[in-house]
Amino acid sequence: MKKLILLIMFCVFLTGCLKKENTLVLVTEAGFAPYEYYENNEVVGIDIDIAREIAKSLDKELVIKDIAFDSIINELNSGKADFALAGMSITEERKEEVDFSVEYAESKQVIIALKNSKIKSQSDLNNKTIAVQLGSVADIYVSEDIKSAKVIRQKKFLTASEDIKSKKADCLIMDLLPATELVKNNPELTILDVELFTDKYAVAVAKGNDDLLIQINKVITKLIDGDQINEFTLNHTK
Ligand code: GLN
């Protein structure tokens, strides 16, 4: 009997150890619907569907870490997470810090403002107070290209949208699909008809993590070929 109990305890211990070895840790920022957001206390979204396919292909259990967007690259490089899917745009600067997969989505940066906004063109952004998400491509764009603007950098888009409603900010610059979701839930806000720039999303891994990157590229290529990423997108934008 004693032996049996010991054996069971050993098995439980072993399962615990194996489980850790058998997990794949995703890092993201879950305030970015439809890519990653909370539904019934669970993180879901297009990126999460993709991450699940990647974990499944490796026969690993997916663990999701929701952190600030500007901490994601650090989390990868310190080895605390295996990969990032966060609607992350490929940029030359980020390419120096992480390795990117093949791209899986195209986006563009748009301006959200109150419906009666007088901003009609890119040059109207001069001298305005602009809200962005800290560390996003919009943050870099406003900081480098619209020097006369005052920038409010928020960790969450929700807070940034509150800044427009309370008139602390004249507008918010962010990605098109998440902007569309945000405006759906805030009827006083609108997406302005002004083109800024386009960008492309990819999965990020720590530099040199080639084995994982090859596997991720295989999964993404298969998902794109099978039109599944479009399917995930439709599911999360209903
Ligand atoms: N696509 C933007 C970027 O990479 C914003 C991503 C995000 O906020 N999750 O900077």
> What percentage of the chain reaches a pLDDT higher than 70?
92
Q: What is the pLDDT of residue 8?
A: 57
111 and 96 together in one domain: no
Residues 6+ apart with CB under 8 A from 186: 161, 165
Task: Say whether both 93 and 14 belong to one domain.
Answer: yes
Res 227: pLDDT: 98
Which one, of 63, 69, 61, lies nearest residue 86 by Cα? 69
Does residue 159 share a domain with residue 51?
no
Judge if 139 and 209 occupy the same domain: no
- Domain span at residue 214 reads 2-104+202-235
pLDDT reading at 39 higher than 80? yes
Task: Clarify whether residues 98 and 212 are in a common domain.
Answer: yes
Q: Which residues contact 190 (CB under 8 A, 6 or more apart)?
A: 112, 113, 114, 115, 117, 183
Are 98 and 137 contained in the same domain?
A: no
User: Average pLDDT in the 117-127 region?
Assistant: 96
Whether 142 and 227 map to the same domain: the answer is: no
Q: Are residues 72 and 85 in the same domain?
A: yes
Predicted confidence band of residue 195 (pLDDT cuts 50, 70, 90): confident
Q: Could you tell me if 174 and 228 lie in one domain? A: no
**Would you place residue 10 in the very low, low, confident or very high pLDDT band (cuts 50, 70, 90)?**
low
Same domain, 100 and 37: yes
Our answer on whether the CB atom of 189 is closer than 6 Å to any ligand 1 atom is no
Q: How far is ligand 1, taken at its centre, from the CA of residue 230, in Å?
A: 19
For the chain, what is the domain count?
2
Index of the ligand 1 atom closest to the CA of residue 36: 9
Residue 19 predicted with pLDDT over 50: no
Sign of the CA dihedral with 150 first, then 155, 161, and 162 last: negative
Residue 3: what pLDDT? Answer: 65
pLDDT band with cut points at 50, 70 and 90 for residue 168: very high
- Spatial contact of 154 and 173, defined as CB atoms under 8 Å apart: no
Query: 45: Cβ below 6 Å to ligand 1?
Result: no
Q: How far apart are CA 93 and CA 237, in angstroms?
A: 31
Indicate which CATH number applies to the domain containing 185: 3.40.190.10
How far apart CA 173 and CA 106 sit, in angstroms, is 16
Mean pLDDT of 183-195: 95
Pocket flag, ligand 1, residue 36 (CB < 6 Å): no
Instruction: Note the pTM of the prediction, 2 decimals.
Output: 0.91
Residue 229 structure tokens: 């990423």
pLDDT of residue 1: 61
